[in-house]
Amino acid sequence: MTIKEVCEKYDITADTLRYYERVGVIPTVTRTAGGIRDYQESDIGWVENAICFRDAGMPVEMLIEYVRLFQEGDSTIDARAALLKEARETIIEAKKKYDIALEKLDYKIGRYEIAQKTGELTWD
Amino acid sequence: MTIKEVCEKYDITADTLRYYERVGVIPTVTRTAGGIRDYQESDIGWVENAICFRDAGMPVEMLIEYVRLFQEGDSTIDARAALLKEARETIIEAKKKYDIALEKLDYKIGRYEIAQKTGELTWD
DNA sequence: ATACAACTTGGAGCTAACTCTAAGTCAAGG
DNA sequence: CCTTGACTTAGAGTTAGCTCCAAGTTGTAT
């Protein structure tokens, strides 16, 4: 799979894909004889995970650390498991904050809907 | 309430509070005769909302726009309601991404726990 | 064989959101 | 009154995460 196809599949720019590889968010991608990226299933898997975790707000630095540990081999299994658990806690905390904001928003939106119906605004 | 007290209450730096005010994330804060910030209930309310929505990933630019509309008066009620609804959608979408990442994490963590028990690693 | 688009690398540039610095002002304790 | 520490502003600097650019290479279609 070419870089272009991966871009289109995941709606991400080629620059970002190359950046992820360069800094180590994903391991080095397979190349053709000519040196052109030719994404294999496993490369795609890393890309998918990277995008998924970045979308959940995980810092690039954490993904780099995970890849680094992964490449170090089986001796880092505990460290990787710990990293993943930490990431889970972070995401759960972030989600709580999103829920609080949603509550606040729903309350405000409700107030605005009353204001729009009555033409009166009596707060905030 | 002094800037220091607000910092401590919300675990945020004074620099950030001043920055929020400067760029318009919150309206201008009440001052003492000497020109020192003296946060009133309403100022605190704005601070609380700003922190809450920033924590939910809303861009500073959007908060500035809301404050701008608010200060323009009742003629902007529809625009403000629309802004809040857009924010709600954005947050709901973001939360979905967080859930997908959580699922992936839980799956991976499960696999690591098996690996840690058996001492074997057969994937990834 | 020759265009010509799409790829490559290394490195510079950009944006959002702070964060820090300098030079000065205010206010509480002695 | 004087010191000392927290406050003020304007503006410069920093960090994360891309995003763009230049100069050169590869691969496909005539």
Arithmetic mean of pLDDT, B72-98? 97
With bands split at pLDDT 50, 70 and 90, how would you rate the model's confidence at B111? Answer: very high
A48 CA, C11 C1': separation in Å? 27
Cβ-Cβ contacts under 8 Å, B109 against chain A: 81, 84-85, 88
Does A44 fall in a domain? yes
Q: Do B105 and A124 touch (CB under 8 A)?
A: no
The per-residue pLDDT string of chain A (124 residues; one tens digit each, 9 = 90 and over) reads 999 999 999 999 999 999 999 999 999 999 999 999 999 999 999 999 999 999 999 999 999 999 999 999 999 999 999 999 999 999 999 999 999 999 999 999 999 999 888 877 666 5
DSSP A44-101: HHHHHHHHHHHHTT--HHHHHHHHHHHHH-GGGHHHHHHHHHHHHHHHHHHHHHHHHH
Q: Which bases of strand D have any atom within 7 Å of the beta carbon of a protein residue?
A: 6-10, 16-21, 25-27
Does B124 fall in a domain? no
Predicted pLDDT at B81: 96
Does B123 fall in a domain? no
B117 CA, D30 C1': separation in Å? 62
Q: Are B52 and B84 in contact (CB under 8 A)?
A: no
Q: What is the domain-level CATH number for residue B7?
A: 1.10.1660.10
Domain boundaries, position B75: 3-118
Number of structural domains chain A divides into = 1
Does A39 fall in a domain? yes
Cα–Cα distance measured from residue B124 to residue B110, given in angstroms and rounded to the nearest whole number: 13
Q: Are A123 and A111 in contact (CB under 8 A)?
A: yes
Does A65 fall in a domain? yes
Please report where in the chains the tokens 């607000």 appear, as a residue.
Answer: B6
Arithmetic mean of pLDDT, B32-54? 97
Amino acid, single-letter form, for residue A101: A
| B31 three-class SS | strand
Does A40 fall in a domain? yes
What residue of B is the nearest CA neighbor of A113?
Answer: B81
Q: What is the distance in angstroms between the Cα of B2 and the nearest Cα belonging to chain A?
A: 22
A1 CA, C6 C1': separation in Å? 14
Does A114 fall in a domain? yes
Cα–Cα distance measured from residue B67 to residue B70, given in angstroms and rounded to the nearest whole number: 5
Arithmetic mean of pLDDT, B25-43? 97
The CA-atom distances, in angstroms, between A29 and each of A36, A41, A67, A88, B23 are 9, 11, 13, 27, 43
The CA-atom distances, in angstroms, between A64 and each of A11, A25, A32 are 21, 5, 25
Q: Which of B91, B101, B112 sits opposite A101 (nearest CB)?
A: B91
Residue B124 reports pLDDT greater than 80: no
Cα–Cα distance measured from residue B79 to residue B72, given in angstroms and rounded to the nearest whole number: 11
What residue of B is the nearest CA neighbor of A74?
Answer: B121
The CA-atom distances, in angstroms, between A2 and each of A15, A30, A38, A98, B108 are 13, 10, 5, 37, 28
